[in-house]
Amino acid sequence: MRVAYFPSRGVCTMESRTLLCCLLFAFVFAATWGATPLAAEEGAPEVRLPADVTYRSAENSPGPVVFSHTVHVPLAGDRCVACHPALFPILRPTEKITHAEMSAGKKCGACHDGVAASGVEDDCAHCHGSGEKP
């Protein structure tokens, strides 16, 4: 069928739908540009991870925190949904994470509880200012 419903004009042609598909493809391509590839099983599509995220230092902080998807995604069973959207909504990027939130089991503290992974109070240099990926 050549004509489909399009809310802004009532109908659209196949050319309009092609344009929308191209725009969607361009958005996905731009979002993954410069991302780190994750090794995939044979025959599975390659997953491209976002670049490291640096969280700025708060007052009295020992330094910024660098979060690496490359380190964390394999630990989450290669499942993006282990953290997104529940702990870290993609459409509303997290800019500030407090120790109070983490101690309450939110954000990083959902895993970094001292049992599943190192606790948020165990070693400051593990995340802050070490220059190494956590």
What pTM was computed for the model?
A: 0.61
For the segment 51-69, what is each residue's pLDDT rounded down to a tens digit? 999 988 888 888 899 999 9
Nearest residue to 65 via CA among 98, 111, 87: 98
* pLDDT for res 33: 53
Q: Does domain 49-127 have CATH number 3.40.1280.10?
A: no
Where the chain has pLDDT below 50, the residues are 1-3, 5-6, 133-134
Q: List residues bridging with 10 in a β-sheet.
A: 6
Per DSSP, the three-state class of 57 is coil
Domain boundaries, the chain: 49-127
